[in-house]
Structure 1
Amino acid sequence: MTVIVILAMIFALLALRLYSVLGKRTGHEQQMPAPVDDRPTVGVSTPRTTVDARPDAARVGEALMAPDAQNGIRQIIAADRNFDVTRFLTGARAAYGMILEAFWQGEKDRLRSLCDADVYGAFASAIDERLAAGHVLDNRLVRIDTARITEAAITGSTAQVTVQFEADIAAVTRDAEGGVIAGSLEDAIPTHEMWTFARDLRSRSPDWTLVATDEV
Structure 2
Amino acid sequence: MQHLDIVFFAIVAVVLGWKLYSILGRRTGHERQIDPFARPNPPETKKGERGRTIDRDEPDAPIQIGTRRPEGRPEARPHLRPVETRAEPAAGPGASMQPRDRRQLEAEIAAAPESLRDGLEAIRKADPSFNPIDFVAGAKIAFEMILMSFAEGDTKTLQPLLGADVYQSFAAAIEARRNAGHRLKTNLVGITHVEIADAELKDKQAQVTLKITSEQIDVTEDASGQVIEGDPARVDTLVDLWTFARDTTSRDPNWQLVATQSPA
Alignment of 1:15-54 (within 5 A): 40=89
Structure 1 residue 63 displacement after superposition: 6.5
CA gap 1:123/1:145 in 2 versus in 1, 3 angstroms: same
CA gap 1:202/1:124 in 2 versus in 1, 3 angstroms: same
Which has more radius of gyration?
A: 2
Post-superposition CA distance 1:67-92 (Å, at most 9, x none)? 24211001011111111111100000
Distance 2:104 2:190 in 1: 25
Aligned pair 1:173/2:215, yes or no?
A: no
User: Paired residue for 1:70, among 117, 135, 140?
Assistant: 117
Please state which structure has a larger fraction of its residues in helix: 1
Structure 1 residue 182 displacement after superposition: 2.0
Post-superposition CA distance 1:21-75 (Å, at most 9, x none)? xxxxxxxxxxxxxxxxx9748xx79xxxxxxxxxxx7884216884242110010
Task: In structure 2, list runs of 5 or more residues that go unmatched.
Answer: 1-86, 95-102
Please state which structure has a larger fraction of its residues in strand: 1
Alignment of 1:74-89 (within 5 A): 74-89=121-136
User: Paired residue for 1:136, among 183, 205, 213?
Assistant: 183
Aligned pair 1:61/2:107, yes or no?
A: yes
Distance 1:77 1:116 in 2: 22
Structure 1 residue 122 displacement after superposition: 0.5
Distance 2:196 2:160 in 1: 23
User: Paired residue for 1:160, among 207, 210, 219?
Assistant: 207
Task: In structure 1, list runs of 5 or more residues that go unmatched.
Answer: 1-37, 46-56
Q: Residue 120 of structure 1 corresponds to which residue in structure 2?
A: 167
CA gap 1:65/1:159 in 2 versus in 1, 3 angstroms: farther
Partners of 1:76 and 1:159 within 8 A in 2: yes
Q: Which runs of 4+ in 1 moved over 2 A?
A: 38-41, 57-61, 63-68
Partners of 1:64 and 1:86 within 8 A in 2: no
TM-score (norm 2): 0.59
CA gap 1:141/1:173 in 2 versus in 1, 3 angstroms: same
Partners of 2:194 and 2:213 within 8 A in 1: yes
Partners of 1:140 and 1:185 within 8 A in 2: no
